[in-house]
Structure 1
Amino acid sequence: MRRMLQANTSWTEQLHSVLWAYRTSVQSSTQETPFRLTYGCKAMIPVEIGQPSWRKVRAKQEGQESNDDALKTDLDLIDEIQVTAQCRELVAKQLLAAKCNRQVRPRSFNRGNLVLRRADISNKNAKDGKLAANWEGPYRIKERLNGGAYILATLARKPVKRTWNTDKLKIYHS
């Protein structure tokens, strides 16, 4: 985005270079480039095609047949590379899930507890703007349902129309 703004061009002109950068960058979850996962070998950047590079010199020294054999070997190994990348991605997902689960604070309320409920956007008055109250209440927990849902009642014991989830409630300290 920054590059597009600096060059003052449309995004379609920059798309090719952005996609090339993405496809040749090592992804943190798989430890591989998308190009290598697709084609089985490392991408050769455009500069390497015009200038002599270690890979091109080695291919010339070993001969065309040897280079073809190396490419065939890379294609034979692509399944192993993909399986390894898939395992790494699974481990990365598990680590991320564990990190997120450590930060979750489970909350539950007992019958009769006083709670505040999150103010719905639909219930907020437009003239109040951003200074409107974010919490409404207090309400009393009438019943606990499965999955963290609660039936609320007003202090006058009138039931509230719909159920409320734990993440939309907080304890009322009087």
Structure 2
Amino acid sequence: MMSKFQIKQHFASVEHPQSNGQAEAANKIIVNGLKKQMEKAQGDWVEHLYSVLWAYRTTVQTSTGETPFRITYGCEAMIPVEIGEPSLRKLQTLQERVNNEAIAAELDLIDEVRTTAHLRDVATKRLIVARYNRKVKHRSFEKDDLVLRRADIGNKNSREGKLAANWEGPYRIREKLGSSAYVLETLNGEALKRTWNADKLRAYYS
């Protein structure tokens, strides 16, 4: 269909979840929520998708300290019960909206809320990176060492999905470039086209 209508398709991280870690993390939360609902729904997950999405969008995120709903619309969401039976929060909100100045102030505040949420998210990611880097162990290989290569880098079989092997090989170290770059070759002596970093390799033990 793409070639028929002469459309060029380009994958970006926003539209291509395989290259977006944040999308994968959000999808994992949604899938876990659906699994809990499916225990009673007997696999009818479509009917419960909206309730799971509502719960995710109205829950305070640890990284930002705000709900996705407030960051998007500038105010907290109200549950259907509050609409049918007015709560104190709804009455106060309606009273504030009578004053146009309160509406303008709320719209001006959303930019500050988004900026604060962004800064808090960046700070959280830096803490996660620092914590991860403390546990990283430096890997070093020598010439003629046998190693395994991450399977998601090469031509991974899409039919196997998540059941595919994470590592492939073994390969032999043909040449060491610097401290963490290597040239690999097959056991038959055929060199691979590109170089590989140490974090994409692991030692092979027969």
**Please, what TM-score do these two structures have when normalized by structure 1?**
0.68
1:16-55 aligned at under 5 Å gives the runs: 16-55=50-89
User: What displacement does 1:73 show?
Assistant: 1.8
The structure 2 residue matched to 1:108, chosen from 136, 140, 143, is: 140
Q: Of 160, 170, 176, which aligns to 1:144?
A: 176
> Secondary structure of the equivalent of 1:143?
strand
1:117 has 2:150 as partner: no
Superposition deviation, residue 10 in structure 1: 2.5
Change (3 A) 1:80 1:149: same
Q: Which runs of structure 1 show a deviation greater than 6 angstroms over 4 or more consecutive aligned residues?
A: none
| Offset of residue 17 of structure 1 | 1.0
CA-CA distance at 1:47 after TM superposition: 0.9
> What residue is the counterpart of 1:161 in the other structure?
190
The two structures have a TM-score, normalised by structure 2, of 0.59
1:96 aligns with 2:128: yes
Cα distance, 1:109 vs. partner? 3.2
The yes-or-no answer on 1:56 pairing with 2:56 is no
Q: Which residue of 1 aligns with 2:3?
A: none
CA distance in 2, matches of 1:171, 1:65: 70
Q: CA deviation at 1:82?
A: 0.6
- Contact kept in structure 2, 1:117 and 1:169, CA below 8 Å: yes
- What are the equivalent positions in structure 2 for 1:55-94 lying under 5 Å apart? 55-59=89-93, 62=95, 65-66=98-99, 68-94=100-126
Q: Within 1, Cα distance between the matches of 2:129 and 2:43?
A: 40
- Return the structure number with greater relative CO, CA threshold 8 A, min gap 6: 1
Give, in whole Å, the separation in 1 of the partners of 2:203 and 2:115: 45
Sequence identity percentage: 41
Contact 2:147 2:170 in 1 (8 A): yes
Give the structure with higher Rg (CA).
1
Output the CA distance in 1 between the equivalents of 2:184 and 2:84: 71
* Stretch of structure 1 that moved more, 92-101 or 6-15: 6-15
Q: CA deviation at 1:8?
A: 2.9
Q: 1:145–1:151: 8 Å Cα contact kept in structure 2?
A: no
Q: For residues 58 and 148 of structure 1, do their structure 2 counterparts lie closer, same or farther at Cα, with a shift above 3 Å needed?
A: same
Equivalent residue letter for 1:46: P
- Map Cα deviations across residues 5-39 of structure 1 (whole Å, 9 max, x no partner): 31236222112211111110011111100110011
**What letter corresponds to residue 26 of structure 1 in structure 2?**
V
Cα deviation, 1:44-77, whole Å, max 9, x if unaligned, reads 11111111311123346x47523x5433321111
Contact kept? 2:170, 2:186, Cα under 8 Å: no
Aligned residues: 150
Uncovered stretches (5+) of structure 2, i.e. residues with no partner = 1-33, 152-167
Distance 2:185 2:43 in 1: 56
